[in-house]
Amino acid sequence: MTIPLLTGIALLQDIVLARVSILGGRPDLVLLSVIAWATLRGSAEGIVWGFIGGLLLDLFSGGPMGGITLPLLVIALLAGRRWGQELGPTGLRVFLVALGLCFLYHVLLLLILTGTGRLVDWAYGLSRVAAPSAVLNGVLAPVVHYLLSILDRRTRPEGLTFDGA
Amino acid sequence: MPPLLFLLTVLFLALHETGFLTPLESGLQYVTAPLQRGATRAIEQIGSLFRTVREVRELQAQVEELQQQVEALSIENVRLQEFQAEVVQLRALLNFVAENPSWTYLGADVVGREACAYAPCGEVIGDEPNPYLRSLSVNVGSEEGVEVGMPVLTGGAVLIGRAAEVGPHTTKVQLLTDTGSAVAAMLQQSRATGLVVGRPDGTLRMLYIPQEEEVQVGDIVLTSGLAGTLPRGLVIGQVTAVEQKDIALFQEAVVRPAVDYREVELVLVITSFQPLVQEEEPPGEQP
C-alpha cells in the first residue's frame, strides 16, 4: 500500500502542488508525509517512505537520481527522533519540527545541487524559497500529520513501538 | 535497512553524475512518463470541471445582465420601429407633395377608426363580424380649412376617401370601401372608365366598364377626375378579378385597395381642390 500511496502523493505534488507558490513558498506534500510518518512510526519506516517518495520525485522531475531522495532520507532520520516533547501540544510541536526540517531539507537540496556542480544562488534560495516554504509547510504539517495519524492507527500492527526513540 | 537505503541513494547520485545511471533512468522514466501524463490529464479534467462550474456561474450572471439589456433594447427597438414606420409614411407623403406642388395640403393623424359607421354591423361575411373599416377620424377640421368632399390621401398618391363630416378640429373620412362611396375611376392600361364603389364585405368593385374594353387582372385603377369631385390620377387599387357576362351591358372588376386602411396613420387632405360636383351618387343597385 505504501508504494501506491506515495505514488499518488508524489504525482499530486508533481502535477498540482508544483504550480502553487505562496510568496515563494511551495507546499511539499512528500516531505510533509515523510516527516509525519517518521514521527508516527519512527525513522526506519520514515526512511523507507523517504526513499520511495524521493525516487519517485527524482524520476518525475528528471533531476539527478538521488538529488531529492538523499535529503528526504536525512529528514526522515531526524524526524524519527523524538524531538521537542517538552514543546507542548502536538500541533505546535509538529509545526516547529516541520518548520525546522523543511528549512534543512532545502539547505540539503541546495548543497547537493552545489555539490553536483550546478550554479546555485544561495541567498535567493534560502530567503525567497527555503524560508517561505518552511513556514508554509510548517502550517500545513499538522493537517498532514492528522491525516496520516488516522492511517497509522488503522494500519499499526499490534505491539509495534517507535524505534527512533 | 536504513543504512542500505542511504548507501543506495548516494550510489545513485554518484552513478548519475558519472552517467552510468542514464540507461536505468531513461527506462524508469519510460515507465513513469505515461503515469505522469495520465495523472496530469486527470487532474486537468478535474480542474476543467471546477473551471466549468465557475464559468457556468459567470455565464449565468452574464445571461441575467444580457437579458436586462435585451429587455431595454427591445423597448428601444419598438420605439425605433415606430419612428421608422412614421418616417416611411411621412416620406411617401412628402414625395407626393413634391410631385404635386400645385395643390395645398393639410397633414393629419388618424385618431379613430370605425367599422360600422356607415354599414350596419350586422352585414357579415359568412358568420364572421365584418372586420373592415368604413371610416377614419383625423385630427384636423374646419378650423384648419377642411371642407366636406375634400380628398384624403396617404403615401404614394393613394386615395383613401373623402371628408364626410367636418367638425371644428376633427374630420370623419369616408373610406372608399364604405358602401356609400362611389368614385369615378379609370384603368391605367386601357384607360377604360367606370365607377368604383365600396362593398359590404369591405372590397371595392369597379362598375360600368364597357364590354368592349379589355380588363386584365393586375391593372391599376386610378381616379378619372371625370365627375370633377376628385383630382385625376390618384391611385385607388388594383384589379384582382374580372366579371364579364355576355348578356350584361357592362363588365365589372373586383379591385383590391392600394393600402390596408387599418394601417393608415398619417394622411394628407388636399385643401385646394375645389370639387365641381359635391359627390357622385352611389349606384342604387347593390349586387
As a whole number of angstroms, the distance between CA B279 and CA A84 comes to 120
> Does A126 contact B at CB distance below 8 Å?
no
- Closest partner CB to B40 (pick from A15, A62, A64): A15
pLDDT at A92: 83
- For residue B184, the cross-strand partners are B195
Task: Tell whether B286 is covered by a domain.
Answer: no
Same domain for B254 and B117: yes
* Tally of domains in chain B: 2
Q: How confident is the model at residue B287 (pLDDT cuts 50, 70, 90)?
A: very low
Same domain for B139 and B71: no
Final residue in a domain of this structure, among B99, B133, B160: B99
- Closest partner CB to B9 (pick from A7, A59, A73): A73
Same domain for B121 and B2: no
What phi, psi does B122 have (nearest 5°)? Answer: -65, -20
Final residue in a domain of this structure, among B99, B131, B151: B99
Of A16-20, A98-102, B193-197, the poorest mean pLDDT is in A16-20
> Does A7 contact B at CB distance below 8 Å?
yes
Tell me, rounded to whole angstroms, the distance of Cα B21 from its chain centroid. 83
pLDDT at residue B46 is higher than 60 = yes
Nearest of B195, B197, B131, B136 to residue B165 by alpha carbon: B136
- For residue B136, the cross-strand partners are B113, B173
Q: Which residues of A touch B10 (CB under 8 A)?
A: 66, 70
Which residue of chain B comes nearest to A67, CA vs CA? B13
Q: How confident is the model at residue B283 (pLDDT cuts 50, 70, 90)?
A: low
Q: Give the CATH number for residue B131.
A: 2.40.10.350
Residue type, B252: E
Instruction: Judge: A69–B12 Cβ closer than 8 Å, yes or no.
Output: yes
Residue A101 near residue A78 (C-beta atoms within 8 A): yes
> Does A116 contact B at CB distance below 8 Å?
yes
Residue B227 near residue B184 (C-beta atoms within 8 A): yes
A156 or B226: whose pLDDT is higher? B226
A105 CA to chain B: closest CA distance, Å?
15
Same domain for B86 and B4: yes
Task: Render the burial of B128-156: b for 16+ CB within 10 Å, e for the rest.
Answer: eebebbbbbbbebbeebebebbbbbbbbe
Mean pLDDT of B225-235: 85
pLDDT tens per residue across span A35-44: 999 988 888 8
B8 CA to chain A: closest CA distance, Å?
9
> Does A16 contact B at CB distance below 8 Å?
yes
pLDDT at residue A125 is higher than 80 = yes
Task: Render the burial of B111-127: b for 16+ CB within 10 Å, e for the rest.
Answer: eebebebbbeeeeeeee
- Closest partner CB to A77 (pick from B1, B2, B36): B2
Please give the sequence-ordered ranges of beta strands (E in DSSP) within chain B, or none if there are none.
Answer: 105-114, 135-138, 151-154, 158-166, 171-175, 182-187, 193-198, 204-210, 220-223, 235-243, 250-257, 266-270
Which residues neighbour B149 within 8 Å (Cβ) at sequence distance 6 or greater?
B162, B163, B229, B275, B278, B279
Helix (H, G, I), strand (E, B) or coil at B159: strand
pLDDT tens per residue across span B74-128: 989 988 988 888 888 788 878 888 877 777 877 777 776 654 433 333 222 222 2
As a whole number of angstroms, the distance between CA B219 and CA A55 comes to 97
Same domain for B93 and B150: no
Which residue of chain B comes nearest to A61, CA vs CA? B29
- Closest partner CB to B36 (pick from A14, A77, A117): A14
Q: Which residue segment(s) compose the domain that B85 sits in?
A: 1-99
Task: Tell whether B179 is covered by a domain.
Answer: yes
Q: How confident is the model at residue B281 (pLDDT cuts 50, 70, 90)?
A: low
For chain B, which residues lie within 8 Å of any Cβ of chain A, measuring from their own Cβ? 1-2, 5-6, 8-13, 15-17, 21, 24-25, 28-29, 32, 35-36, 39-40, 43
- Closest partner CB to A70 (pick from B13, B32, B39): B13
Same domain for B95 and B199: no
Task: Tell whether B282 is covered by a domain.
Answer: no
As a whole number of angstroms, the distance between CA B286 and CA A129 comes to 105
Which residue of chain A comes nearest to B22, CA vs CA? A65
Q: How confident is the model at residue B44 (pLDDT cuts 50, 70, 90)?
A: confident
Which cell numbers in the block locate residue A44?
A: 526506519
Same domain for B214 and B141: yes
Which residue of chain B comes nearest to A116, CA vs CA? B17
Same domain for B116 and B89: no
pLDDT at residue B35 is higher than 90 = no
As a whole number of angstroms, the distance between CA A163 and CA A128 comes to 36
> Does A113 contact B at CB distance below 8 Å?
no
Domain ranges in chain A are 2-153
Q: Which residues of B touch A48 (CB under 8 A)?
A: 1, 5
- Closest partner CB to A11 (pick from B5, B15, B36): B36
Q: How confident is the model at residue B285 (pLDDT cuts 50, 70, 90)?
A: very low
Q: Which fold has domain A2-153?
A: Arp2/3 complex 21 kDa subunit ARPC3 (1.10.1760)
Instruction: Judge: B43–A15 Cβ closer than 8 Å, yes or no.
Output: yes
Which cell numbers in the block locate residue B109?
A: 393623424
Q: Which of A59, A78, A81, A111 to mutate to test the interface with B (most CBs of B within 10 A)?
A: A59
Same domain for B256 and B132: yes
Task: Tell whether B285 is covered by a domain.
Answer: no
Same domain for B118 and B77: no
Residue B250 near residue B209 (C-beta atoms within 8 A): yes
Instruction: Judge: B32–A112 Cβ closer than 8 Å, yes or no.
Output: no
> Does A56 contact B at CB distance below 8 Å?
yes
- Closest partner CB to B21 (pick from A48, A62, A65): A65
Number of A to B CB contacts under 8 A, please give it: 66
Q: How confident is the model at residue B131 (pLDDT cuts 50, 70, 90)?
A: very low
Rg, C-alpha atoms of chain B: 40
What phi, psi does B26 have (nearest 5°)? Answer: -60, -40
Residue type, B212: E
pLDDT at residue B68 is higher than 90 = yes
> Does A62 contact B at CB distance below 8 Å?
yes
Task: Tell whether B276 is covered by a domain.
Answer: no
Residue B238 near residue B259 (C-beta atoms within 8 A): no
pLDDT at B124: 24
Helix (H, G, I), strand (E, B) or coil at A66: coil
Task: Tell whether B284 is covered by a domain.
Answer: no
pLDDT at B128: 28
